[in-house]
Structure 1
Amino acid sequence: MNKRILWLSIVLLSSASTAHAERFDLSIGDDSYRVALNGPLSRLFAETTGQYDVGAVVRPKRRDDLLVAHVGAMLTGDAGARSFESAAGLGVRAVYIGRDDDPGGAIAPGGQFEARFPGYERIGFSFYGYYGPEVLSFGDFDEYYEIGTAIDYQVLRDASLYLGYRNVNVRVEDGPRITADNGLHAGMRLSF
Structure 2
Amino acid sequence: MMFTRTSATALPLAAALAFSVAPASAADFDLSLTNDSVKGQVNFFDSRSDLQLGAGYTYHEGRRHLVNADFHAQGRTALGNLPTTAGIGFRGLVWDQSQADGGAVGLGGFATINLPTVPGLSFTGSAHYAPSILSFGDSDDLTNIEARVNYRVIRNAEIFAGYRYINTDLENVRGDINLDEGVLVGMKIFF
Q: What is the aligned partner in structure 1 of residue 112 from structure 2?
A: 114
Distance of 2:23 and 2:28 partners within structure 1: 12
Give the Cα separation in 2 of the matches to 1:57 and 1:146.
Answer: 13
1:26 maps to what in 2?
31
Unaligned runs of 5+ in 2: none
Of all paired residues, the percent bearing the same amino acid is 26
CA deviations over 1:106-142 (Å, ceiling 9, x no partner): 1111100101101322011110011111111011210
> RMSD across aligned C-alpha pairs, in angstroms?
1.9
Which residue pairs with 2:41 in the alignment? 36
User: In the alignment, what sits opposite 1:3?
Assistant: 9
Residue 54 of structure 1 is matched in structure 2 by: 55
Does the CA contact (< 8 Å) of 2:124 and 2:148 recur in 1? yes
Unaligned 5+ runs, structure 1: 42-47
Report deviation, 1:57: 2.4
Offset of residue 80 of structure 1:
2.8
Normalising by structure 1, report the TM-score. 0.87
In the TM superposition, 1:11-160 aligns within 5 A as 11-17=17-23, 20-40=25-45, 49-60=50-61, 62=62, 65-81=63-79, 83-160=81-158
How many residue pairs get aligned? The number is: 182
Contact 2:37 2:59 in 1 (8 A): yes
Cα distance change, pair 28–5 in 1 and its aligned pair in 2 (3 A): farther
Cα displacement (A) at 1:104: 1.9
Q: Tell me the TM-score normalised to structure 2 length.
A: 0.87
Q: Which amino acid aligns with 1:54?
A: A
